[in-house]
Amino acid sequence: MNIHIAEHYGICFGVRDALALAERMANEGPLTTLGQLVHNPVARERLEGLGVREGNLDKGHERVTHRVLITAHGSSDAERARWRASGHVVEDATCPLVRFAHGQLRRLVKEGCFPVIIGKHGHVEVEGLAGDFEGAAVIETEEDIADVPVHALYGVISQTTQPIDRVRRLVAALRAARPEARVYFRDTVCRPTKDRQEALRKLMRAVEVVIVVGGRNSNNTRELVETVRAAGLTAHHVERADELRWEWIDGVEEVGITGGTSTLPETVEQVRLRLIEITNQHERMR
Ligand code: SF4
C-alpha cells in the first residue's frame, strides 16, 4: 500500500498562533477561552493540561477566570463589550483573516448593503460576523435564500472555512433569486482553507481512499470529508490514530491522508505510522 499525504494539510497559521498565545498566557496565570479555542480534541486536551478552561458568558461566571481569550474564530464587538462590562480582561486570538472578513462586511454595510453571510448556522465564527448587524442573513444552503429579506443592495461575504465553489454557487443563486437587486460579493474564504481544498482535489486523483484527520466538530475538516464523498471516493474521518480500522484499507493500494486547519502535525504523523503498523501486522498474518 502506498500512502500519499496532501500537499497542504493540517494546522493553519491562525490556529497555530492562537494556540501559542493561549499557552503563553496560561503560563502567566489562570485563563478561560471563550468557547473552544480550536475545534480539535487533541489540542484542547493539551490546553486543559495547562489549566486552561473553556467558558461562555451565557452559561454563568462560575468557571470563568478574570482573564478571558477570544478564540481564532473571532467575536462580534457587542460580545467583546459584554465581557468587558462584566469585569473581565479580554484578550484576543482572532485570526487576521477572520478580522478581514469582519472588515469587509462592515465596509459593505457602510456602503448601504444589507449584510449576508454564507456559512453554517450557529457556527461561532458566523455568529461573530453576524453579531454586530441585527437581522443579518445567513445562507447555508439554497433553501435559505427564500428567507433573505428583499433589498436593493446586498453585501455578501462568507465564513472563512467554506469551500469557495459552494460560496460562488450560493452567490449565483442569490443573484438569480433577486434579479432586481445588486449583489456585491467579497471573497473572504481564507487561503489556508483554499490550499487544503485544492491539495485534496489533487490528492484524490492518485488515491482510492482518503483518511481525513481532524475534530468531528471542525467545520473545515467536515468539508474535506464531504469533498471526498462528493467526488465518489471513500473518506474516513478520524480524530486520532487509534480509530483507524484494518477493514478500511484491506485491499487498497493507494491511500491518502489530509487534515483540517486545526489538526496538529503530530496527529497526522501518528495516523501515517499507524497505517504502516496495521498493514505490517496483517502482512505477517497472511
Ligand atoms: Fe485563520 Fe483560515 Fe485558519 Fe480560520 S482556517 S484560523 S481563518 S487561517
Residues 159 and 214 in one domain: no
Among the three residues 95, 121, 147, which one is the final residue of a domain in this structure?
95
Residues 121 and 160 in one domain: yes
Among the three residues 185, 220, 246, which one is the final residue of a domain in this structure?
185
Residues 156 and 227 in one domain: no
CATH number of the CATH domain containing 121: 3.40.1010.20
Residues 199 and 280 in one domain: yes
Residues 253 and 270 in one domain: yes
170: containing domain: 97-185
Indicate the pTM of the whole model: 0.91
Q: Quick check: CB of 38 below 6 Å from ligand 1?
A: no
Among the three residues 69, 95, 121, which one is the final residue of a domain in this structure?
95
Give residue 18 CA to ligand 1 midpoint distance, Å. Answer: 10
Q: Looking at ligand 1, which residue's alpha carbon is closest to its atom 8?
A: 14
For residues 137, 141, 14, 191, the Cα torsion angle rounded to the nearest 10 degrees is: -110
Residues 49 and 74 in one domain: yes
Q: Quick check: CB of 93 below 6 Å from ligand 1?
A: no
Q: Quick check: CB of 193 below 6 Å from ligand 1?
A: yes
**pLDDT of amino acid 282:** 84
Q: Quick check: CB of 267 below 6 Å from ligand 1?
A: no
Per-residue cell: 35: 468557547
In 6-74, the DSSP E strands lie at 32-34, 53-55, 67-70
Residues 86 and 119 in one domain: no
Residues 91 and 127 in one domain: no
Residues 20 and 46 in one domain: yes
Long-range contacts of residues 190-195, Cβ cutoff 8 Å, at least 24 apart: 190/12, 190/14, 190/95, 190/97, 190/98, 190/160, 190/161, 191/97, 192/8, 192/12, 192/13, 192/14, 192/97, 192/261, 193/12, 193/160, 193/161, 193/162, 193/163, 193/220, 193/261, 194/164, 195/7, 195/8
Give residue 73 CA to ligand 1 midpoint distance, Å. Answer: 8
3-class state of residue 198 by DSSP = helix
Distance CA 239, CA 44 (A): 12
Q: Is 79 a catalytic residue?
A: no
For the chain (length 286 residues), average pLDDT per consecutive 10?
A: 96 95 95 90 91 77 84 94 92 97 98 98 95 96 97 98 95 98 98 95 97 92 94 97 96 96 94 95 79
Residues 43 and 127 in one domain: no
Instruction: Give backbone dihedrals phi and psi of 67, rounded to 5 degrees, phi first.
Output: -90, 130
Residues 73 and 39 in one domain: yes
DSSP 57-85: GGG-STT--SEEEE-TT---HHHHHHHHH
Q: What is the count of structural domains for the chain? A: 3
Which one of 79, 125, 140, 239 is the catalytic residue? 125
CATH number of the CATH domain containing 91: 3.40.50.11270
Q: What is the DSSP letter of 142?
A: G
**pLDDT of amino acid 6:** 98
DSSP alpha helices (H): ranges in 50-177? Answer: 77-85, 96-110, 124-130, 164-177
Residues 221 and 246 in one domain: yes
Give residue 251 CA to ligand 1 midpoint distance, Å. Answer: 36
Contact 186, 155 (CB under 8 A): yes
Give residue 140 CA to ligand 1 midpoint distance, Å. Answer: 19
